[in-house]
Amino acid sequence: MSEALHPQDRSIEKKSLATYACFIPTFLAPIGRNDHNPDIGTRTVIQSVRGLCGFPQAMSESARARFSSLARDSDSCARFKPGDDVRVKSTFKAEVQSFLYFIPRKAGTGIRLTKGAVLRVADVIRGSGGCVLELANIFDGYVGRRVGEGVLIFCCGEDVESNLESFDRQMSTEEDQPPMILMGSASYQDIIATLDASEFPLDVAKQAASFLEVKNLEPREITASGSSSTRGDFPLSTTLANEDGTWWISAEGSMKNGMGEEWLEFRLSQDGSVRRCRFVGISIPPLPQGPLSVRRFRVDMSVDNGATWQKGGDDYVSEAMDLPGMQTFQLSAPIDANRVRLVCLQNADAAENYRPDGESSTFDCVGLFHVRWK
C-alpha cells in the first residue's frame, strides 16, 4: 500500500538507507514474534539497542538516556507491569521511536495517543513511574503486518498517572454476566423483578425479557456490505482479511483537501439480528508512506439493516494514531446495531499540514488496510 497511498514517487537518500539498514537484522526477528511471546519482543529490543551500529545517529539524547535506563532497570513500575493492557483515558502526546522503517521518524518525535486507545505495557522504567508502550491487538485471529512494526512509545510517569488506566480484556466480554439487554432498556434483573412483582410466572417473565436480549457480535458473521465510493483496487471484503498488499481507497476527489465523509459499511450478523459492539480496530500505513491514511473517523449505526442511520455524536469520533499495526479503540459506550459504518472524516495529510484558504491538496481521497469490530 506504500505505493497506493503515496502516488508521488519520493526517493530515499542512500545515507538514510545505509544508516538504518543495520537495524533490520537485530530487530526484525524479536519484534516479529512479539504477539506470540511477550517475553521475546520489545524487552529484547531494549536490551540489545545499546550495541547497535548507528545508535548515536538514530536517537535523540533523551531517548538514548531512556533506553540506557530501560536496559538496566526494566523491572517494576508504580502502577503497571510488563504485559499489562492499558486504556488511554485522555488524549496526550508521547515520544516514539521507530526502528524498522527505511524512512525513520525524526529523533524525539512526538505522537498523539488517542482517548479510548488500548495499548500494552512493553516495559517499565523503574524509579520514574514511566513505561514503554506498544499496540495491543485484542482481535482474535488477526495476524497483520510484522515487518516495519518496530515502534516503541515512551510515556513519562506523570502521563502514566494522569492519562492511563488499567484495561482487562477478559472483563470486557461480560461472559459470566446476566443476559445483555438492548441499550436504553431496563436491566435484565429489573425486568424480571417487575414482572415477578406483577405476579407473572418466572418462565413468562424470562420469555418476555428474551425479546430485548442482545448478543455480542461474532467476528465470523461480519461482512463488508458497501462503501460511499471506492477506487476499485481490491474487493471491500479484503478490509476484513489478513492479506498483505491489499487496501481500500475512496474514489479520487472524494475528500477535497483531505476532508469529507467517506465510509465503509459492515453487516454485523448474517440474519440481521442486532449485535453489541464495544471496539473498533484500524490498520493503516503511517507517514510518510501513508498520506491518504484515515486519521479522524466516526462510527455510525443502524438497527433496521440500513434503512435509517444514527449518526455517531462527538463521543463516537476518534483519531487513528500515526502507527503501523492494528490499533484498538474502545467505544465510549457500547452500541447495539445490525449495521455500522466507519466514516472517514480526515486523512493524514490534512491532519499534519495546514493549508491556507484557496490552497489545494493532491491527497484528495482516504484509505486504510484493515478494519475490525468486537
Q: For 274-317, what is each residue's pLDDT tens digit?
A: 899 999 999 999 988 899 999 999 999 999 999 999 999 899 99
pLDDT exceeds 80 at position 62 = no
Closest to 260 (Cα-Cα) out of 274, 250, 246, 268: 250
pLDDT value of position 205: 61
Which carries the bigger pLDDT value, residue 27 or residue 354?
A: 354
Question: What is the residue-averaged pLDDT of the chain?
Answer: 75
pLDDT reading at 198 higher than 60: yes
Check whether 55 has a pLDDT greater than 70.
Answer: no
Please count the residues of the chain: 374
Q: What is the pLDDT of residue 42?
A: 45
User: Which residue from 259, 331, 256, 346 is spatially nearest to 301, judged by alpha carbons?
Assistant: 331
- pLDDT confidence tier of residue 200, bands split at 50, 70 and 90: confident
Which CATH number is 218-373's, of 3.40.50.1220, 2.60.120.260, 3.40.640.10, 3.40.50.10420?
2.60.120.260
Domain boundaries, the chain: 14-166, 172-213, 218-373
Q: Which residue has the cell 469520533?
A: 317
Residue 97 — pLDDT band, cuts 50, 70, 90? confident
Nearest Cα to Cα of residue 163 among 126, 122, 119, 109 = 119
